Amino acid sequence: MSESKRLLITGSSGFVGANLTRKLLKEGYEVHSILRETSNKWRIEDIVGEINVHKADISSGKSVLCIVKNVKPQIICHLAVYGGYSSQQDKQKMISSNVIGTTNLLQAAKKTRLECFINTGSSSEYGIKDKPMQETDCLEPVDFYGVSKAFSTMLCASMWQAERTPAVTLRLFSAYGYFEEPNRLIPYVVERCLKEEPIELASPSSVRDFVFVEDVVEAYLLAIKEEGALGQTINIGTGEQHSVGDVVNTVIRLCKAKAKPVWNSRPTTKAIEPKAWVADITKAKRILGWEPKHGLDEGLEKTIEWHRKRT
């Protein structure tokens, strides 16, 4: 990159955010990050000295406006979120982060010459579907988290229409890879396999579109540079559906482990488990020129190797 652009990111201490932040630094961006005082920085502790950290809570409109005015970012990547994990059930926090936080950032963005605002959406916005999910589908979220994320997506789209705020939403499916929360499915199974310990799990039949984090990060980099993405909502998945059972068995095979899954030994985390949960990625291919480079085996191999090095 010939010129270092100022980029403001929220959620840089989170799973996808930490991976994106590392890549942005390598690409030469001048990275500024909004972090709460209480943020756990374990994912970025080795690179935090390379980031311009601004301590604030995005639910404070005054704080966000002050930071944006001072930084004058050309790009904003909004990844801060609450409610994506089953343990995060505080509805007020979902509103504060996902609704008010997004609103504050978009309002503050009017005070700078912004080129691109990337909002991070969720496949939970769709609700239950019986076919690959398309961006034109009716949003029918079944939980409060999905509702809050749907609001943020629609807000970004409406501000593009009404005020030409250069916003795009990347609607992520089930990302996995480096720095994922340890109690999530894939890191949990990998660690159990490496330690040859029993793997206690819920149902093997739950399905998801698992997308490797390196591919997700690449989608952000493309969206930053693609003017044709502005005003759009774009699915980021693989277009392939895998059951939890498939993923667990693949991890066991790749680890060459003797550990055995103990199914139905844990409660399910979702009240409703759909029979289909997969992205239609036609739009991502057409607008961003993006498609995943990693199949399930390739992504899991890299993830397992990363865990081996940290064990």
Residue 114: DSSP 8-state: -
Burial of 1 (0-12, 13-18, 19+ CB in 10 A): exposed
C-beta separation of 238 from 202 below 8 A: no
Structure tokens belonging to residue 246 = 């498939």
CA-CA distances (angstroms) from residue 74 to 7, 152, 279?
A: 6, 20, 30
CA-CA distances (angstroms) from residue 101 to 83, 89, 243, 245?
A: 14, 17, 34, 36
What's the pLDDT score for residue 209? 98
Q: How many CB atoms lie within 10 A of CB 170?
A: 27
Residue listed under structure tokens 């206690």: 200
Interior angle at CA 232, CA 151 and CA 158, nearest 5:
45
Measuring CA to CA, which residue among 57, 13, 6, 58 is closest to residue 32? 6
Architecture of domain 6-175+212-238+279-288: 3-Layer(aba) Sandwich (3.40)
Alpha carbons 196 and 70: distance in angstroms, whole number: 51
Same fold, 6-175+212-238+279-288 and 176-208+240-277+296-310: no
Q: Which residues of 17-47 are buried (b: 16+ CB within 10 A; e: fewer)?
A: bbbbbbbbbeeebbbbbbbeeebeeebbeee
176-208+240-277+296-310 classified as CATH 3.90.25.10: yes
Alpha carbons 258 and 41: distance in angstroms, whole number: 34
The pLDDT profile of the chain, 311 residues, written as one tens digit per residue, is 446 899 999 999 999 999 999 999 999 999 999 999 999 999 999 999 999 999 999 999 999 999 999 999 999 999 999 998 888 989 999 999 999 999 999 999 999 999 999 999 999 999 999 999 999 999 999 999 999 999 999 999 999 999 999 999 999 999 999 999 999 999 999 999 999 999 999 999 999 999 999 999 999 999 999 999 999 999 999 999 999 999 999 999 999 999 899 999 988 766 677 889 999 999 999 999 999 999 999 999 999 999 999 97
Q: What's the one-letter identity of residue 241? A: Q
What's the pLDDT score for residue 1? 45
Q: How many CB atoms lie within 10 A of CB 256?
A: 7
Structure tokens belonging to residue 282 = 């036609």
Structure tokens belonging to residue 196 = 């040859």
Q: Residue ranges of the domains in the chain?
A: 6-175+212-238+279-288, 176-208+240-277+296-310
Alpha carbons 85 and 209: distance in angstroms, whole number: 17
What's the pLDDT score for residue 85? 85
* E strand map for 139-208: 167-172, 174-176, 199-200, 207-208
Structure tokens belonging to residue 262 = 């103990």
Alpha carbons 288 and 118: distance in angstroms, whole number: 13
Residue listed under structure tokens 């409703």: 272
Q: What's the one-letter identity of residue 140? A: E
* E strand map for the chain: 6-10, 30-35, 52-55, 75-78, 116-122, 167-172, 174-176, 199-200, 207-208, 210-212, 233-236, 242-243, 261-262
Alpha carbons 134 and 112: distance in angstroms, whole number: 33
CA-CA distances (angstroms) from residue 207 to 2, 99, 134?
A: 43, 28, 17
Residue listed under structure tokens 């003797």: 258
